[in-house]
Every structure is written in structure tokens, then in C-alpha cells.
Amino acid sequence: MRVLVTGATGQLGSALVPALRARHGREHVIACGHRTAPCPEVADGPCIALEITDRAAVARAVRDHRVGAVYHLAALLSAVGEREPLRAWEVNMGGLLNVLEAAREAGCAVFFPSSVAAFGPGTPAEDTPQDTIQRPATMYGITKLAGELLCDYYFRRHGVDTRGLRYPGLVSHERPPGGGTTDYAVEIFHAALRERRYVCFLAPGTRLDMMYMPDAVRSALELMAADLPRLRHRNAFNVTAMSFTPGELGAQIRRHLPDFVLEYAVDPVRQAIAAGWPRHVDDRAAREEWGWRPQYDLAAMVRDMLARLAAPGTAAP
């Protein structure tokens, strides 16, 4: 099967593309970004520049490459979306609609990553149910909720095999963060190794769900490989791996770097966004319907992140 990945140079894409190439073959996975020069993580195979808001270009890419599945990752994240809400709507919703139309015409499957941002201040914050009230308070969250519904529509109305996950914050050593509310959980590792000091933009007790990138990649691959009849919540599965605060993450880092100092300068915009997100979601539906199980907890993630970032030749963001 030939696979097309939009947003392939982003945090999730740069980790997902190599995993897909290992599974389907290097030449069968086309990495798409809005830049002509790909990032090193995806440069060993087919790469194309694709403007996701250009419907004809998206349809042409799917058709010309005889694509069987699209992993549609291109999006503006939460903090960027609050600065540029109109652009966020154009990219996040317009891009998804273009991908779904191309998939309808070509008969291919679509993976769409939603987010815990699709919930909102009125959602239960502890053990957030799979099915619950969703009234997101950010443009990013609105586009993710609308995206879940749009994928449902294309499945019911047109038979497009759409599947998706509500990701928590993602922690990765591959690429620098891209403007999200949970970016601190990536930045802190680079700062700890480089300067032994980090100034966090969220308050010390801000608890949020998180996932290490290897688990995020594996969850997408496992969902797309799952038997279709088993998937009742096909476009919006809650998934999580761990839940922690900046203070708890800092304490775990200090087990390895005792002189690390964590300070705080709270960004009111990102703090307000975080306040409207779940502290921990209930992901039993994913566990029951397709066997989801995370492999990394906080201690294992911190240990692996520090080891990988400390390796010779690792670039700082």
C-alpha cells in the first residue's frame, strides 16, 4: 500500500514517517510538507511540497501517487491557533476537507489526529469519559471537534474509512515543538541538558495528560491496522499514557540531573488553554475496541529522552 503523510515535517510526522516506511517500504510512503526542503527524519524517501489548502493539489497528490491511506497531520496547534485563528480554521478545517474529498474520490483511508483540546471547560476533567460534553474554548479545539464530526460524516455518507485518536500532549526528541500548550514538556529536556535551568510557562500544579512519541506512533499504526467492525468510536478514541504536572516532571529530571533548576513565568494565554483541558482521560474504549496499551510511563520517558538528547550529534531546537 502507498501512504501519504501530510504535515510530515512536524513533531508527529517526523516520527511517524520512518515507522510507516519500515512497515510499508521506503518508496511507498510519501512525506508532504509545506516546505520544499524536507527535515532529515523524512529525507530518505519520497518527499513533496504540498499546500494543504489547495484542493486540486491535494487530489492530484493522492491520485498521482495511487495512495491507499492518508495520515493527515498538517495543522496549526493551540497557541498558534489563538494568535492566528482565521489561518487556523483555513488550514485545519480546509485542509481536512480537501483530504477527505480526495479520499472519497480515490477510495482510500484517512487517519486524523484529534486532541484533548476537543473537550473544554465544561468537560469532566478527571477520568474524562469517551463520550461526554465537548465545548472547546480555543480555535484549535473547535477545529479538532469539527474534524471529528466531519470524519464521521464522510464515513457514514460516503463510506470513507476514517479513523482518529484524541491525542494528549506529545513528548518527542525528534523535532522541536510547534506551538502547542504542552510544549514545555519538550523544551524542558533541552534546557535541562544545555543550561540545567528552565523557565516554565505553565504553573507548577498544572496537570495534563501526556504521551511519549513512540507510543503515539504505535497507537496510530495499531488503530489503522485494527479490524473495522470492532471500532465503535472510530474517529475520536481517547488515548493516554501518563498524567503529570511541570513540578512532577522537573522532579523526575532532577533524579538524573540533581543540579537542574525549574522556575516559572506563567503565560496567561497558554495557562488559560491548559485550564480548559482534561487532567486525565478515560481511554477504556481504545483498550477494549482495539487493544491499546501504552509502554512508557513518566520515569521511562524521562530516562529515554535524556539519553537520546545527550547522545553525540543531537541537535538542540
Q: What is the pLDDT of residue 4?
A: 98
Cell of 152: 464521521
Could you tell me the domains of the chain?
Answer: 3-169+213-238 (3.40.50.720), 176-210+241-278+295-309 (3.90.25)
Distance CA(120)–CA(271), nearest Å, equals 14
Report the relative pairing of strands 242-244 and 208-212 from DSSP bridges: antiparallel
158: exposed, middle or buried (Cβ count in 10 Å: 0-12, 13-18, 19+): middle
pLDDT bracket for residue 315 (50, 70, 90): very low
pLDDT digits (tens, 9 = 90+) for 77-126: 988 999 999 999 999 999 999 999 999 999 999 999 999 999 999 999 99
Neighbours of 231 (CB within 10 A): 18
3-state helix, strand, coil in the chain (%, to 5): 45, 15, 40
What distance, in Å, lies between the first and last C-alpha atoms of the chain? 34
Task: Name beta bridge partners: 32.
Answer: 48
pLDDT at 176: 73
In the predicted model, what is the mean pLDDT of residues 229-233? 91
d(CA 298, CA 284): 20
Query: What does the pLDDT look like over 304-313, one tens digit per residue?
Result: 999 999 975 5
For residues 77 and 179, is the Cβ–Cβ distance under 8 A? Answer: yes
Alpha helices in 231-282 (DSSP H): 246-254, 268-275
Q: Phi-psi bin for 122: left (phi > 0), alpha (psi -120 to 50), beta?
A: alpha
Tally of residues, the chain: 317
Helices (H), 31-126: 55-64, 78-83, 85-89, 95-106
Cell reading at 53: 489548502
Position 36 scores a pLDDT of 60
Catalytic one of 71, 140, 198, 296: 140
Euclidean distance between CA atoms 292 and 290, whole angstroms: 6
What is residue 187's predicted lDDT score, i.e. its pLDDT? 95
Residue 164 amino acid letter: G
Q: Which of 153, 149, 94, 142 has its CA nearest to residue 118?
A: 142
Q: What is the pLDDT of residues 26-84, one digit of tens each?
A: 999 999 988 665 677 788 899 999 999 999 999 999 999 999 999 999 999 988 999 99
Give kind and range of the element (H or E) at residue 28.
none
For the segment 153-193, what is each residue's pLDDT rounded down to a tens digit? 999 999 999 999 999 999 999 877 777 888 999 999 999 99
Which of left, alpha, beta for 82 (phi over 0: left; psi -120 to 50: alpha)? alpha
Computed over every residue of the chain, the mean pLDDT equals 94
> How many of the other CB atoms lie within 10 Å of CB of 114?
22
Asked if 140 is an active-site residue, the reply is yes
> What is the structure's pLDDT at 236?
94
pLDDT-derived band at 22, boundaries 50, 70, 90: very high
Beta strands in the chain (DSSP E): 3-6, 29-33, 47-49, 69-72, 109-115, 126-128, 162-167, 169-171, 197-200, 208-212, 237-238, 242-244, 261-264, 280-281
The pLDDT assigned to 221 comes to: 98
Q: What is the mean pLDDT of residues 222-250?
A: 95
Range 278-283 average pLDDT: 96
Rg (CA), the chain: 19
- Whether residue 242 contacts residue 297, with contact meaning beta carbons closer than 8 Å, is answered with yes
Q: How many angstroms separate the Cα of 65 from the Cα of each of 21, 178, 225? A: 15, 28, 21
CA–CA dist 246, 49 (Å, integer)? 37
User: Is 32:6 a contact under the CB 8 Å cutoff?
Assistant: yes
**Residue 295: which pLDDT band, with cuts at 50, 70 and 90?**
very high
Q: How confident is the model at residue 293 (pLDDT cuts 50, 70, 90)?
A: very high
pTM above 0.85, yes or no: yes
Instruction: Give pLDDT, residue 38.
Output: 67
